[in-house]
């Protein structure tokens, strides 16, 4: 039996600015990655998003990023491993408090943006992030790019790890995400994206942007919820997987 977790990055509104279709996306996914106030989100948004995820009965994860609200965590920052560790603990702890206040468990941690991308290739940074997760709560799962240094660091730390695949992103020959500044970064053909998801789950392989076969075995699939067509795409993805007999459950669920 094939199974997969469907996750989405949520809670990314801030103050009077609204981003994403959280209330409509949440019922369609099995895990929510909630922004923790550094790259996006604020205390009110964090509280509301945790409440919506709780009501929907889906897994809740922290989505910590670089302290970069203006750049949405997608700009390079030269943080030392010690600094990155501290920012991770700070953000995970904040979301964990909102979960505790509402009587739900924090389930996982998925770094955001450039913090995620850097940790995929920088073993020292990856080790610092894995250590932060472990020190806050060793029962938390760590989500990282499939075949990345972050996943390796999580395993070495003894954490539950989840290898992630992105439905709408192209991959380099090395198995990393094509830079968002590259016109080829995004896959805009929904049918192609959904077919790639099925291949990744069933065959453990996809084609890179140049056509090279890449081995990967995803535990979780990221479906973005902040584009105008996001709702339709997430809904179609879920339906297509269920029609193929692929069970959708959070990481670690029985």
Strand partners, 206: 214
Q: Which residue has the tokens 């938390």?
A: 140
pLDDT in tens, 147-157: 999 999 999 99
| Alpha carbon separation from 51 to 111, 191, 192 (Å, rounded) | 21, 33, 34
The residues of the chain scoring below 50 in pLDDT are: none
| Alpha carbon separation from 23 to 49, 98, 121, 236 (Å, rounded) | 8, 18, 34, 17
**Residue 210: predicted pLDDT:** 92
**Residue 254: predicted pLDDT:** 58
Correct CATH for 3-165+188-203+216-248 of 1.10.1200.10, 3.40.50.150, 3.20.20.370, 3.40.50.12640: 3.20.20.370
pLDDT in tens, 15-30: 999 998 999 999 999 9
Give the domain ranges of the chain: 3-165+188-203+216-248
Q: Which residue has the tokens 């193929």?
A: 244
């Amino acid at each position: 039996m094939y199974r997969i977790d469907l996750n989405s990055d949520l809670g990314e509104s801030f103050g009077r600015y609204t981003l994403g279709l959280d209330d409509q996306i949440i019922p369609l996914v099995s895990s929510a990655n909630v922004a923790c106030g550094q790259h996006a989100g604020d205390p009110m948004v964090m509280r509301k998003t945790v409440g919506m995820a709780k009501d929907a009965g889906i897994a809740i994860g922290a989505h910590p990023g670089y302290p970069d609200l203006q750049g949405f965590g997608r700009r390079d920052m030269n943080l030392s491993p010690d600094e990155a560790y501290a920012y991770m603990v700070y953000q995970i702890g904040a979301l964990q408090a909102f979960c505790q206040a509402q009587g739900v468990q924090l389930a996982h941690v998925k770094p955001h943006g450039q913090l995620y991308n850097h940790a995929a290739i920088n073993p020292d940074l990856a080790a610092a992030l894995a250590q932060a997760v472990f020190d806050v709560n060793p029962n938390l799962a760590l989500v990282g790019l499939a075949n990345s240094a972050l996943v390796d660091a999580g395993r070495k730390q003894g954490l539950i790890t989840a290898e992630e695949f992105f439905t709408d992103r192209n991959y380099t020959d090395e198995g990393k995400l094509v830079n968002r500044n590259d016109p080829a970064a995004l896959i805009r053909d929904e049918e192609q994206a959904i077919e790639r998801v099925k291949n990744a789950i069933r065959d453990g392989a996809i084609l890179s942007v140049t056509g090279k076969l890449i081995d990967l075995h995803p535990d979780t699939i990221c479906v973005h919820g902040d584009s105008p067509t996001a709702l339709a795409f997430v809904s179609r993805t879920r339906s297509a997987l269920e029609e193929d007999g692929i069970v959708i459950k959070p990481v670690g669920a029985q």
